Structure 1
Amino acid sequence: MVATNSLPPEFDRGVVTTVHQGDCHVSKDLDLTYSTVLGSCVSACIRDREAGVGGMNHFLLAEQPNATSEKFGASARYGAFAMEQLINMVLTRGTGRKSNLEIKVFGGGNINSALNDVGARNVEFVYDFLRNEGYVLSGADVGGTFARRVLFKPHSGRAFVKRLDSTDNARIANDELALVKRRPAVRPPADDIELF
């Protein structure tokens, strides 16, 4: 993982696919780079070291965590779905062995005071999720009061993080606030099945 302002050469060529809020992409293409911009949102970058298959998700909790009596609220199930979806896709396309997974987490910045530090709650959720599922985190760049641009090479697992300035923070904060206000919480059916 690299945190700097100059782009390493390996990220300056090939195909770039943007990962938007709610997306989950997986590939083993050598020349592919996943790119996303995160404010209080979180992205996990997960790779099967042996198979060279990796992916990125991007999620923002859609309602305040205190909305229900559950530990993280109904919206945390959306985060759980995003994590389960990415892990299952990488396992399916890779070796199928959880021990081969390399997991990096990015985002969770506190860039909008109107969101009651959703970023910190997102980071707490992801760390708890990984710990409860028995996964070990290989790297992270989370928290702070800034947005980030994250580039991830799914085949090599290399990540590049650029911290964005206050102009970008304001734009991203407004976009996230608009999403939270208009998007209903995603609730899976009561009998949903967890695949691992």
Structure 2
Amino acid sequence: MQNSLPPEFDRGVVTTVHQGDCQVSDVKDLTYSTVLGSCISACVRDRIANVGGMNHFLLAEQSGSSRDRYGASARYGAFAMEQLINKVLSRGSGKKANLEIKVFGGGKINSALDDVGAKNIEFVRDFLLAEGYSVASEDLGGNFARRVLFKPASGRAFVKRLDSEAGANVAREEIVLAKRRAVVVPASDDIELF
């Protein structure tokens, strides 16, 4: 099997970041790895402290709540972003200005998840803008799944676009997860989920 990574991208110890995970480290020979379809993965690094992390989240359909533009399920995405940023800040320099943010995913890989990827892209961009962050780099959208490798200490990232068979497997897994995580919102708007 031929290695498709550039020779200078030594994987070292690989830790998989699954849907719903948030991992942070400063270990130099560590690489985080995840596979994304319509999900989003953010990679955040403190450039001064050389501490970084990766999350992986899937935002299901909107809940329909009139008070929440994204719906209750998007709060899972907001929680995932806040959790990652706060972990990197607490283990790093503590200064938002030192953070470098890269975002990946949001592909349209299955008609059953037709608009999930686009909503995820809109969500992550809006969230970062509202929090005052800029994106250092991104690989978002498209009609393919992708594998993302991220070295938290150096901030290097590598993205490989996956073939349609791998994308179909990712799509099936995401559909199962989306159904399992569906949030039922009561008819009354006086309850706020968080």
Choose which of 17, 20, 37 in structure 1 pairs with 2:18: 20
Structure 1 length-normalised TM: 0.90
Q: CA deviation at 1:6?
A: 2.2
3-state DSSP class of the match of 2:144? coil
User: What residue is the counterpart of 2:62 in the other structure?
Assistant: 65
- Describe how 1:124-143 pairs up with structure 2 within 5 A: 124-143=122-141
User: What residue is the counterpart of 2:146 in the other structure?
Assistant: 148
Task: Name which of structure 1's ranges 81-90 and 70-79 shifts more when overlaid on structure 2.
Answer: 70-79
User: What residue is the counterpart of 2:113 in the other structure?
Assistant: 115
Q: Give per-residue Cα distances to partners, 1:147-183, cap 9 Å, x unaligned.
A: 0000000000000000001001111111101111122
Q: Kindly indicate whether the alpha-carbon contact (under 8 Å) linking 1:46 and 1:86 is maintained by their aligned counterparts in 2.
A: yes
Choose which of 81, 84, 91 in structure 1 pairs with 2:79: 81
3-state DSSP class of the match of 1:65? coil
Q: Give per-residue Cα distances to partners, 1:47-74, cap 9 Å, x unaligned.
A: 0000000000000013x12532221111
Q: CA deviation at 1:184?
A: 3.4
Q: Kindly indicate whether the alpha-carbon contact (under 8 Å) linking 2:72 and 2:193 is maintained by their aligned counterparts in 1.
A: no
Aligned-partner Cα distance in 1 for 2:82–2:184? 15
Overall identity of the aligned pairs, in % = 72
Q: Give per-residue Cα distances to partners, 1:24-56, cap 9 Å, x unaligned.
A: 000000000000000000000000000000000
Detail structure 1 runs of 4+ shifted over 6 Å in the superposition. none
Letter aligned with residue 53 of structure 2: G
Unaligned runs of 5+ in 2: 186-190
